[in-house]
Chains A and B, each alone.
Chain A
Amino acid sequence: MAKRIDVSGLNAYYGSFRAIEDISMTVEPRSVTAFIGPSGCGKSTFLRTLNRMHEVTPGGRVEGKVMLDDENLYGAGVDPVSVRREVGMVFQRPNPFPTMSVYDNVAAGLRLNGSYKKAALDDIVEKSLKGANLWNEVKDRLNKPGSGLSGGQQQRLCIARAIAVEPNVLLMDEPCSALDPISTLAIEDLIGELKERFTIVIVTHNMQQAARVSDRTAFFNLAAVGQPGKLIEIDDTERIFSNPSVQATEDYISGRFG
């Protein structure tokens, strides 16, 4: 299931503006990799290049190679739609489909990609909701609208929706920034469980969160506003938070930045 991501020489542009410059890194399967760094340094842009969501933005353009095991996501003839089936994504703000019930939200990825038998779908919905630690809270109201849940529940619903299509990699773009500490804890616990099955990449502004959930941490920075963001270093989370090899990382983590 889980696959390794190997990025080399990746540049991403918005029109003529280069947002990230020459990034190379490896993301190990069955692990959690956290991206930290100041706002505007290109963490989210880089994350979105990993499932070809960057090019959905008008003017978005990518150069370089992203290998998913041995397939280049940006190779000739690669369909972005099938890339996104392999690499799922959870967004900053919970975004369940407002016209759909809890059940339909989880089933959306499968239903919209082809017809499934009702019984098989029931199983997958239950499994995904259990996987997202949401089943016990919503099993009695599967047919109620998904937007009636609380913020934390909605975010777990979105995670259930993402894992229902069984991707190889799960990208999370600040999944807890709109949530209270208790819901954050629930999602962090969930990330710990999900890494048994998926490769997880998470962008976060919360360094304690990066330290708590991730195995490896990447620090991004930018020289100045208007300059492209760069990967400063990537290492085991413990190393980054105790003894980073670059001074800028230490400054950022200890709050001496800027």
Chain B
Amino acid sequence: MSTTAINDKRPSSLQGERLPKWFPWALGAGSVAVSVGLCLATGIDSRIQWGLIAAILFVLGTFVIAGRVEGRRQAKDRIATSLVWVAFLLAVVPLASLIWATVERGTKVLDGYFLSHSMGVVADTEPGGGIYAAIIGTLEQVGIATLIAVPIGVLTAIYLVEYGRGNLARAVTFFVDVMTGIPSIVAGLFILSLLLMFDLGFSGFAGALALTILMMPVVVRSTEEMLKLVPNELREASFALGVPKWRTILKVVLPTAIGGITTGIMLAVARIAGETAPVLLLVFGNPFINNNPFEGAQSSLPLYIYQQFKNSAGEGAAYDRAWAAALTLIAFVMILNLAARGIARWKAPKTGR
């Protein structure tokens, strides 16, 4: 009995039966069609259920058909591949639908006027107004936070990788880890308690300080990883030329890692650009343009989105403005990400001839 089983599974030639290249696509289309038909027939109207049924049909169908035609090993290979594809689609669908929803709702009022004007005395229910003050606020707060956090973060990372030994380095690493886990609202509360202690008012700068707390550990971590990637041989080569350590770090280590460091900084900026909680506590929000980050309440994009949405009751002018501001924020973060990729590619050590 066992001999026949083995003989069945082993074709005599090296060429076994193969399914055609279009098979996965055809099966995918087929399972979607069957799933839609099935659901319409049985009255299931949730799109999510349609998709899940199609995914299950696809995976099962792959296994059964491939197992029949190609043998068990090929069937396992196909089922692994189709599981990867299904997982990929499950991950992409929310992202794509989020972007779709934001673009669809955000483009209604997004135009030059919206970007270049502020709310002023426009009421929530009235159309008009814009996000100029919020853009100014976000740029200033994120800019100040970056100016403070990047030098401190990069220098800390240099200390940890190049100089740090023993207890101090371990303590710094530990506190950086702890800082990474600080909830943003707590950072906001901490700065707020300082404001109250010294009797200061709301300002963009206070918000920037809270953002700095959130940004610094991210910068330290990513810079540290990038510096660790620089081969030790390069440092030794530089030392062997009689170059002092600080110059080696400045002229050899940092240029080699600069692409990755820049990417890390850009991603950290993108992360804090969307922070709402500390800004809500410290910057307060302001419908009028306030170009001075050091005095008086300002606005910022995430805060603007929150406030407009809160006052909109789910429809009307304020609702549209919230979505348009959300689209602007996504575009801002995406541009930063693209810029980071561009810089990383441009600065990466060249290997071409």
Contacts and interface: CB of A to CB of B under 8 A. Distances in A.
Interface stretch (A108-116, A191-199, A246-254): A108-116
Nearest to B248: A112
A122 B352 CA distance: 24
A4 interface: no
A95 B237 contact: yes
A199 to B, nearest CB: 15
Given A84-B242, A99-B256, A113-B242, A91 B237 contact: yes
Interface footprint category on B:
20 to 34
B21 interface: no
12 contacts: A84-B240, A95-B237, A98-B350, A108-B238, A109-B243, A112-B241, A112-B247, A112-B251, A113-B243, A147-B350, A147-B351, A148-B352
Contacts, number: 90
B8 interface: no
B236 A145 contact: no
Contact of B349 (A82, A84, A98): A98
Interface in A49-79: 51, 53, 56, 58
Closest 10 CB pairs of A and B: A85-B242, A98-B349, A109-B241, A89-B240, A148-B353, A145-B350, A95-B233, A84-B242, A112-B243, A99-B255
Contacts of B233: 91, 93, 95
A161 interface: yes
A27 interface: no
A218 B235 CA distance: 29
A145 B352 contact: yes
Interface string A74-104: 0000000111111011010101011100000
B237 A145 contact: no
Contacts of B241: 84-85, 88, 108-109, 112-113, 161-162, 165
Interface residues of A, number: 31
Given A141-B353, A144-B353, A147-B349, A109 B256 contact: no
Provide the main secondary structure of the chain B interface: helix
Contacts of B94: none
A125 to B, nearest CB: 14
B43 interface: no
Contact of B239 (A56, A82, A113): A56
B119 to A, nearest CB: 48
A98 B242 contact: no
B236 A53 contact: yes
Interface in B208-247: 231, 233-244, 247
A97 to B, nearest CB: 6
Given A58-B165, A82-B242, A161-B241, A97 B256 contact: yes
Nearest to B165: A58
Interface string B241-271: 1111001100110011000000000000000
